[in-house]
Amino acid sequence: MVNFSSYVGRVTATVLTLALLMAAVAAWGWGREEAYAVLFAAFLSVVNMLILGGRLIALPASAQRAAQRLGGAVLQRWTITILGLIFAIFWLRLPVIGLVAGFLLTHFVFLAFLVRERSRQRS
């Protein structure tokens, strides 16, 4: 079993590093607004990952309580994501393409870490 805090730290550091690189490319190619959108979406995804991770660490022993806690975490993540996107699009006026790029980046990095960890466990 991998140490959760170090795992989350590696994923977070990788996501934020790649988001900064992608934002630099976006700023160079399309403009500052796209770069801000990439960074905003990456930050929002990292916050969501940390919320879920915190809930996973503190799962109760009871299966019913654990299911309720995970359901609450999923609801909380969706609420934060939707409110964050509404804020980004309508208040900050960030471009949707940059937000999508930032979300895709973070989710692909997270998926890559999961696949790598799964292949390590099978070996």
Residue recorded with tokens 């989710």: 107
The predicted pLDDT at position 15 comes to 92
Q: Is residue 1 scored above 60 in pLDDT?
A: no
**Single pTM value for the model:** 0.84
Q: What DSSP letter does each residue of 76-106 carry, written as one string?
A: HHHHHHHHHHHIIIIIS---HHHHHHHHHHH
Return all residues near 11 (Cβ < 8 A) that are at least 6 apart: 49, 109, 110, 113
Cα gap 48→14, rounded to integer Å = 15
d(CA 95, CA 59): 37
Under the banding of pLDDT at 50, 70 and 90, the label for residue 104 is: very high
Quick check: 35 and 23 in contact, CB under 8 A?
A: yes
What pLDDT, on the 0 to 100 scale, is given for residue 99?
A: 95
pLDDT at 96: 95
pLDDT per position as a tens digit, 10-61 = 888 999 999 999 999 999 999 999 999 999 999 999 988 888 777 777 777 7
Give the confidence band of 4 by pLDDT, cuts at 50, 70, 90: low
Cα angle 12, 13, 17 (rounded to 5 degrees) comes to 115
At 3, is the pLDDT very low, low, confident or very high (cuts 50, 70, 90)?
A: low
Model confidence pLDDT, tens digit, residues 66-87: 788 888 888 888 899 999 999 9
